[in-house]
Amino acid sequence: MKRYIFRRLLRVVPIVLLVSAATFALLHLAPGGPAAVMAGGRAASDADLARIERAFGLDRPLAVQYLIWLRRVFLGFDFGTSYATGEPVSRMILARAAATFELMGTAFVIALAAALCAGAAAAARRDGIVDELVSVLSAAGMSMPVFWLGIVAIYVFSLRLGVLPSGGRETIGAAGAADRLRHLALPALVLASGFAASWSRYVRAQLLEVMSGDFVRTARAKGLGEGAVLFKHALRPSLLPVLAVAALHLPALFTGAVITETVFSWPGMGRMFYDGLARHDYPRVLGVVVVSSFLVILANLLGDILGAAVDPRISLERGCGPAAAREPASGRGVS
């Protein structure tokens, strides 16, 4: 296990280098550039733009710019200064990381709790009305795009009903725990919806597989009710595989957070990334890409370890992947 983790951590550097190099090249090949942004939106002459590019080293060859940026990041942990705001990118990421983790953590808990409840209800009422309803809702939840669902949620709960704010993290002048929860409710629920729909099918499949075991039949023979059999005997051994799959979906959760933060104006790293793209702010975009790459790799490592802990047939020392290949991507799972 230790050797496997060490080998996986050694792969972090080349993967991050590859991702950062590709992002660096694509940003510089995109139309426009940061010189016009640094000019303050004024009509700058070609000479002024060239002077700005020389001052920030943007006139150098692309490979030289990348090597300078790479040395600054990996030796001094300095992502540079934002072209648009003049603020150090490292400070911007630290200031916004808490908001992103708050949104992702809340959405993860909501999705897991909803998936366990829905999957357990479907497994307990197999082929019944509840099972069919959960199946339909799961298919709908996996089909709806996050941005569309976010816009609909804002229209219904903010514009029509007026019960929840439409965006932001807090109300200026009225910040408090209750106010923060009201602002967090809509983006967290929207972000959690797709994952809850997907995980609920996996929970159902795992429960039906576990409930066919001998120990469950023994529990029923002792006279225990279906509720006690389900929650006291079947749910616990089904929980670890579900957690392993959920850990493997953490990178997708971060990707969904980028869209959700943009729709709800949530001040996290995802919104920071989107604004950086819109304003050709290369240091800001590259800083978020490097940090998110580390998070994605660590999340995948956590998923592999949990998968190996759940399924003894998986040998991490032989480089086998987790049991996620057995996850039902959609549909009913075990029928």
With beta carbons less than 8 A apart as the criterion, state whether 322 and 315 touch. Answer: no
d(CA 112, CA 235): 13
DSSP H helices in the chain: 2-10, 12-29, 34-38, 46-55, 62-76, 89-124, 129-143, 146-153, 177-210, 214-221, 226-228, 235-248, 250-263, 269-278, 282-310
- The architecture of the domain spanning 98-266 is Orthogonal Bundle (1.10)
pTM for this structure? Answer: 0.76
pLDDT at 221: 72
Extract the residue ranges of the chain whose pLDDT is less than 50: 319-335
Which pLDDT value is given to residue 156? Answer: 93
Q: Which amino acid is at 81?
A: T
What was the pLDDT predicted at 190?
93
pLDDT in tens, 87-103: 888 889 998 989 999 99
Residue range 104-117, pLDDT digits in tens: 999 999 999 999 88
Domains of the chain by residue range = 98-266
